[in-house]
Chain A
């Protein structure tokens, strides 16, 4: 019994990681209609932010907390720059956008290699997060995973509030649903695009901070997680927060439960098979955007 509970916890925490890395992607995907292949590198930028901050601020706890807003700003700024310099010239050209963002991702990886060196680096986790909450002797919940779970929850709530209740959120939704109609209704789509990119990429930076608690930081860490993020976004439905949340936790739990009774590799394969089967049944993902557009 405790095994199932602790596996569920592991699954939920894997789901939280998936959700964090996919959340920003889901937003920018909805807006530009194509996966941003450089999203993983924004995650990497967030992770390296922690690494750089720890060189300046030695207290691991403070540097992590301070890193959250800074990583958001750094990755967000990179996103805005990418949107402003390249992507905005390529709307309605999905294949080109895909290739361009992939190229940017390779450039950013090499840049990280040149700046920080090819070997992966590690950061110190604050003492408060290396411990655990003991429920019974067999069931302990690790603090860093609880922290990531909280962070993911916070990010979802904040993003939902912004999208649903602010005028910026309404504009973002309008542009996602029908860009041309939004434009003729007087919404400055260019500015909305940039803000969407700022928020979406900023969330990738926050995800990067969270990932430093679990593993090493390296130039290729983005590529390692980006496919998982794709799966969550595609299976969840384009531009749908609710879909991403459900799919992230479903995949996390599925992965950890299968892995417990089989092996890591088998679990990965079965999860992939499950997603392929699911997309056969619902190619548009869990939720569809209802629009009157002719696209």
Chain B
């Protein structure tokens, strides 16, 4: 009799596990009314979509991006709107779940009939919504640094591509004599592609890659990975972890006795907001590669930082993805005004050469790639939680998403 009971428990357990997994992965139903949804610009207001993870493991980062998009929308409305129409932001929660992103993107485009969507953070979420935007001929502004090797006609990339962030980061490590590197990343498309690029760079530039490890997104168990990093005796770590796995990783890193002096970590997804929540005691003097820091000098940045703090609180830092998101709304406005219409095809045609005095400095859209010219900056985390620049590229770097200008990168795409 006992085995029967045992078997029933087993069945219950399996049912429970299935239920738990199932609730994490609902897929959107597919009512594909084939024609592209047209944005509704008939009224006094124009709707714009905000698509960010407001819950789940990515919320730590994406909520701040949503906040700065809202700030830009408010500023634009206060100054009279776009082509005389006020913007009406519609915010949706992608919930750190890629199918949800696709579902919400479809809702914004088809039901709300927005003129443009701003948002997404992880490349996995961008890849999930890309077909939705392409099929509906709608515009997405993607504000986060990413792995490159992509150029959708319906996405504008206002964050850095690899040659504006990762390659300068590697150049910096090389110039510091840190030539043996360990790669740690989250297990999804951005870190894997970024590391492929890093390995190609290393092979051509006399650097050695001592190891490569991926943790599932949201993972908080880094004991073994840190042991491996430590045993490798690398001179630096290149970190492409995303979300709050970084919290667990840096806690473990410090506990293992590793420091910025003994083995610096270059991170490409840790900005001021993440520094604050990970805790400065774990990150002191570690390096980051970005295009903007709160400390970046200039009148445009002073104005941005002041406006952000006035709206969201004096203790809220500003960061690179927030800045890129803020800039993306203004760039869209400039494109619409240049085109004289909200029509997606006309806006796209008007994009080349549109500039904006951004907090990071003047940014210009490269119409051919739909990326923007950005200055690369390496920074060091200070005790106050802010990041100060230790190196910059001098002038804005032309975006090269497919790394065509680099001989070592042939065969990557």
On whether the two chains bind one another, the answer is: yes
Contacts of B2 in A (CB 8 A): 284, 288, 295
A94-B12, A214-B251 given; A264·B214 CB < 8 A: yes
Contacts of B17 in A (CB 8 A): 227, 230
B210 to chain A, nearest CB (A): 14
A14-B221, A130-B254, A132-B256 given; A215·B248 CB < 8 A: yes
Q: What separation, in Å, do the CA atoms of A142 and B250 have in the docked complex?
A: 13
Contacts of A125 in B (CB 8 A): 251
| Inter-chain contact B57/A120, CB cutoff 8 Å | yes
A3-B227, A37-B16 given; A295·B219 CB < 8 A: no
Q: What separation, in Å, do the CA atoms of A230 and B14 have in the docked complex?
A: 10
Q: What separation, in Å, do the CA atoms of A230 and B223 have in the docked complex?
A: 22
| Inter-chain contact A14/B223, CB cutoff 8 Å | yes
A119 interfacial by beta-carbon distance below 8 Å: yes
A216 interfacial by beta-carbon distance below 8 Å: yes
Q: What separation, in Å, do the CA atoms of A267 and B213 have in the docked complex?
A: 12
A232 to chain B, nearest CB (A): 12
B window 26-69: CB within 8 A of A:
54-57, 59-60, 63
A window 88-137: CB within 8 A of B:
94-95, 98, 102, 113, 118-122, 124-125, 130-132, 134
Q: Which of A5-13, A51-59, A62-70, A178-186 is the contact stretch?
A: A5-13
Q: How large is the interface on B (under 10, 10 to 19, 20 to 34, 35 or more residues)?
A: 35 or more
| Inter-chain contact A283/B7, CB cutoff 8 Å | yes
Q: What separation, in Å, do the CA atoms of A238 and B55 have in the docked complex?
A: 35
B9 interfacial by beta-carbon distance below 8 Å: yes
Q: Which of B75-83, B273-281, B381-389, B396-404 is the contact stretch?
A: B273-281
A294 interfacial by beta-carbon distance below 8 Å: yes
Q: What separation, in Å, do the CA atoms of A121 and B247 have in the docked complex?
A: 10
B278 to chain A, nearest CB (A): 7
A240 interfacial by beta-carbon distance below 8 Å: no
B174 interfacial by beta-carbon distance below 8 Å: no
B window 1-16: CB within 8 A of A:
1-3, 5-10, 12-13, 15-16
| Inter-chain contact A130/B223, CB cutoff 8 Å | no
B257 interface neighbour in A2, A134, A226, A227, Cβ under 8 Å: A134
Contacts of A260 in B (CB 8 A): 224, 227-228
| Inter-chain contact B13/A214, CB cutoff 8 Å | no
Q: Which of A201-209, A217-225, A242-250 is the contact stretch?
A: A217-225
Q: What separation, in Å, do the CA atoms of A125 and B247 have in the docked complex?
A: 12
B window 208-262: CB within 8 A of A:
213-216, 218-221, 223-225, 227-228, 230-231, 244, 247-248, 251-252, 254-257
Q: What separation, in Å, do the CA atoms of A221 and B392 have in the docked complex?
A: 39
A10-B223, A215-B251 given; A234·B9 CB < 8 A: yes
| Inter-chain contact B279/A122, CB cutoff 8 Å | yes
B19 interfacial by beta-carbon distance below 8 Å: yes
Q: What separation, in Å, do the CA atoms of A73 and B6 have in the docked complex?
A: 32
Contacts of A214 in B (CB 8 A): 220-221, 248, 251-252
B5 to chain A, nearest CB (A): 6
Q: Which residue of A lies closest to B225 (CB)?
A: A264
| Inter-chain contact A35/B7, CB cutoff 8 Å | no
Contacts of A102 in B (CB 8 A): 16, 19
Q: Which residue of A lies closest to B246 (CB)?
A: A216
Contacts of A2 in B (CB 8 A): 231
Q: What separation, in Å, do the CA atoms of A144 and B282 have in the docked complex?
A: 14
Q: Which residue of B lies closest to A125 (CB)?
A: B251
A227 interface neighbour in B5, B20, B219, B251, Cβ under 8 Å: B20
**Interface centre among A113, A218, A256, by most B CB within 10 Å?**
A218
A95 interface neighbour in B7, B12, B214, B244, Cβ under 8 Å: B12
Q: Which residue of B lies closest to A131 (CB)?
A: B255
Q: Which residue of A lies closest to B213 (CB)?
A: A263
B119 to chain A, nearest CB (A): 16
A37-B16, A119-B60, A294-B1 given; A224·B10 CB < 8 A: no
B187 interfacial by beta-carbon distance below 8 Å: yes
A249 to chain B, nearest CB (A): 14
Q: Which residue of B lies closest to A237 (CB)?
A: B6
Q: Which residue of B lies closest to A221 (CB)?
A: B220
A237 to chain B, nearest CB (A): 10
Q: Which residue of A lies closest to B59 (CB)?
A: A119
| Inter-chain contact A7/B7, CB cutoff 8 Å | no
A118-B56, A132-B257, A264-B216 given; A216·B248 CB < 8 A: yes
A283 interface neighbour in B6, B20, B277, Cβ under 8 Å: B6
A143 interfacial by beta-carbon distance below 8 Å: yes
Contacts of B281 in A (CB 8 A): 130
B254 to chain A, nearest CB (A): 6
| Inter-chain contact B10/A256, CB cutoff 8 Å | no
Q: Which residue of A lies closest to B247 (CB)?
A: A216
Q: What separation, in Å, do the CA atoms of A232 and B315 have in the docked complex?
A: 43
Q: What separation, in Å, do the CA atoms of A46 and B54 have in the docked complex?
A: 23
| Inter-chain contact A98/B16, CB cutoff 8 Å | yes
Q: What separation, in Å, do the CA atoms of A145 and B252 have in the docked complex?
A: 10
A174 to chain B, nearest CB (A): 19
A window 258-286: CB within 8 A of B:
259-260, 263-265, 267-268, 279, 283-284
A161 interfacial by beta-carbon distance below 8 Å: no
| Inter-chain contact B216/A215, CB cutoff 8 Å | no
| Inter-chain contact A223/B20, CB cutoff 8 Å | yes
| Inter-chain contact A265/B187, CB cutoff 8 Å | yes
| Inter-chain contact A264/B247, CB cutoff 8 Å | no
A134 to chain B, nearest CB (A): 7
A145 interface neighbour in B9, B230, B255, Cβ under 8 Å: B255
Q: Which residue of B lies closest to A37 (CB)?
A: B16
Q: A residues engaging B (CB < 8 A)? A: 2-3, 6-7, 10, 13-14, 34-35, 37, 94-95, 98, 102, 113, 118-122, 124-125, 130-132, 134, 138, 140, 142-145, 211, 213-216, 218-220, 223-224, 226-227, 230, 234, 238, 255-256, 259-260, 263-265, 267-268, 279, 283-284, 288, 294-295
20 A-B residue pairs with Cβ-Cβ distance under 8 Å, sorted by A, are A13-B223, A118-B54, A119-B59, A130-B251, A130-B281, A140-B257, A145-B223, A211-B220, A214-B220, A215-B244, A218-B244, A220-B56, A226-B20, A255-B224, A264-B214, A264-B215, A265-B214, A267-B224, A288-B2, A294-B1
- Given contacts A140-B257, A215-B244, 10 further A-B pairs with CB under 8 A are A2-B231, A10-B223, A34-B9, A118-B63, A131-B255, A132-B257, A142-B252, A216-B247, A230-B13, A295-B2
Query: Top 4 A-B pairs ranked by shortest CB distance?
Result: A215-B220, A142-B255, A118-B55, A10-B223
